[in-house]
Amino acid sequence: MRIHFLRGGKKKTTIIDGIRFDSKGEIRRYADLKLKLSAGNIQDLQVHPSYIVLESFTDESGAKHSAIRFTPDFQYYENGKLIIEDIKPVMTYYTK
């Protein structure tokens, strides 16, 4: 596992196994899923698969609209079920 750190503007990107990750949470989950994959607990792990939610189209006035895509962080099969995960940061609430 090779790790590279890239800094573009303010956002820090990490590359592991040739895959770009934007957060530590994604990196931790990827490491966990790789262990599950090697143990045989999950199958067909994919990182950043892309789904077309709405195809590109031209409306009645002739304006062209691009396709709308959803790119989650991970996709894999567990016990024959398709699992799709999108990692989000944890919200922390403070009270005074």
pTM of the model: 0.73
pLDDT tens digits along 42-70: 999 999 999 999 999 999 999 999 999 99
Q: Order of strands across the sheet with 81-85?
A: 43-47, 74-78, 81-85
Distance CA 93, CA 84 (A): 27
Q: Order of strands across the sheet with 19-21?
A: 3-8, 11-16, 19-21
How many helical (H) and strand (E) elements, i.e. helices and strands, does the chain have?
1, 10
pLDDT tens digits along 18-37: 999 988 889 999 999 999 99
Range in 18-22, 47-51, 74-78, 80-84 the model is least confident about: 18-22
